[in-house]
Amino acid sequence: LPLPDRQETCAHVRYVPHFNMDSQVRGFFVLITDITKRKRAESLLQKREYELAHAVRLNRMGEMVAEITHEISQPLFAISNFAKACTTCLENGTGDTMETIGWIRRIDDIATMASAILNRAKNYLTDKEFARSTFDLNDVLNESVELLGSDTRRRHVNVQLVCSKSRLDVSAGRVQIQQVFVNLIRNACEAMEDVSEVDRHVTIHTSCKDDVVEVIVEDNGPGIAPDSANKLFSTFFTTKKNGMGMGLAVCRSIIEDHGGTIDSVPTTGHGAAFRFTLPLVLDGVRDE
Ligand code: ADP
């Protein structure tokens, strides 16, 4: 078959037995179908679906932030006004003590109401979008690498997995952990844009030590600029022309929400390495 290109040629091979008059197998016909185009279309579709899901999630988060800001600003404004009134009365020694106590009680009530608004938002996120289940972290890593397959191939990045042989069960929001992998791998790929194609390597190690699962994503790029080091995880920090500066901040919030840690760590080579941990679930009952 003519090979459309070296990287993404797929074939479907079928062996059809050929029988003689005594029903004995005489040989096989080998049918080879070039399914490269179909596979490319599938992978493009998968990429588009992922981008759409990501955009929908970002959009939903944006809407929620706007709604929370709106709902919380009024109680905060009221709390501030009551507090000012109390301070004025106490400083001047004027006003009725019972009335001042009433204002302080209102502050307490309003603060409780504000906290209920925040809890409602948190439950919404936890229940719908980010339901937790127990799964093997290695499985989600493989899914994430597959998801980014067409992107990494296009960028000529060689992704190598050095996975723990034992299961790494964690209890987490599967989509959220996938998001962490995707953000870290995508950053690694983007960091290697100026590296020669043959040297674009991302290595991902997974292991477990003392009931803590550890993941290290290491690349071969220029590494972290010294003046960026302490700002990496801040929201809106970016050194990229079209960056949003949300990727690492989202990673940190997801990992810390799951009882883990995430940081940039020194590398063996000259690139960058990001390490995150999550608590291991011992004898976990798998949900999938
Ligand atoms: P964005 O990708 O939109 O810039 P991030 O929060 O994901 O937002 O990353 C913030 C910044 O951290 C990047 O702009 C870059 O300067 C730095 N950074 C992240 N990952 C790497 C990496 N693997 N190598 C070098 N710098 C990185």
Q: β-strands 201-209, 158-162: how paired?
A: parallel
CA distances from residue 250 to 99, 236, 243, 254, 283 in whole angstroms, order as listed = 45, 11, 14, 6, 29
- Distance from the alpha carbon of residue 173 to the mean position of ligand 1, in angstroms: 23
The amino acid at 182? V
Best mutation site among 151, 195, 232 for ligand 1 pocket (most ligand atoms within 8 Å of CB): 232
pLDDT at 171: 95
User: Closest Cα to atom 21, ligand 1: which residue?
Assistant: 187
- Distance from the alpha carbon of residue 239 to the mean position of ligand 1, in angstroms: 7
Say if CB 211 and CB 261 are below 8 A apart.
no
Averages of pLDDT over runs of 10 residues in the chain (288 residues) are 54 87 87 87 76 70 74 86 93 88 91 82 62 92 86 92 95 87 94 95 95 97 94 91 84 91 91 97 62
User: Closest Cα to atom 8, ligand 1: which residue?
Assistant: 245
> Is the CB of residue 75 below 6 angstroms from any atom belonging to ligand 1?
no
Place of tokens 């499985």: 139
> Is the CB of residue 90 below 6 angstroms from any atom belonging to ligand 1?
no
pLDDT at 126: 59
Say if CB 237 and CB 245 are below 8 A apart.
yes
* The CA-based dihedral angle spanning residues 78, 79, 84, 85, taken in that order and rounded to the nearest 10 degrees: 70
- Distance from the alpha carbon of residue 183 to the mean position of ligand 1, in angstroms: 9
* The CA-based dihedral angle spanning residues 23, 24, 25, 26, taken in that order and rounded to the nearest 10 degrees: -110
Q: Which three-class secondary structure state does DSSP give residue 11?
A: strand
- Distance from the alpha carbon of residue 231 to the mean position of ligand 1, in angstroms: 10
- Distance from the alpha carbon of residue 128 to the mean position of ligand 1, in angstroms: 29
pLDDT at 8: 62
Say if CB 139 and CB 284 are below 8 A apart.
no
Helices and strands in the chain, H and E counts: 6, 9
pLDDT at 5: 47
- For the beta sheet containing 158-162, the strands, ordered from the edge strand earlier in sequence to the opposite edge, are 158-162, 201-209, 212-219, 273-279, 261-265
Q: How far apart are CA 209 and CA 195, in angstroms?
A: 33
Instruction: Locate the ligand 1 atom nearest the alpha carbon of residue 247 and give its number.
Output: 7
Q: How far apart are CA 182 and CA 149, in angstroms?
A: 11
pLDDT at 19: 87
User: Closest Cα to atom 4, ligand 1: which residue?
Assistant: 238
Instruction: Locate the ligand 1 atom nearest the alpha carbon of residue 217 and give its number.
Output: 23
Structure tokens at 173: 């929001």
List phi, psi (to 5°) of 211: 65, 20
pLDDT at 136: 96
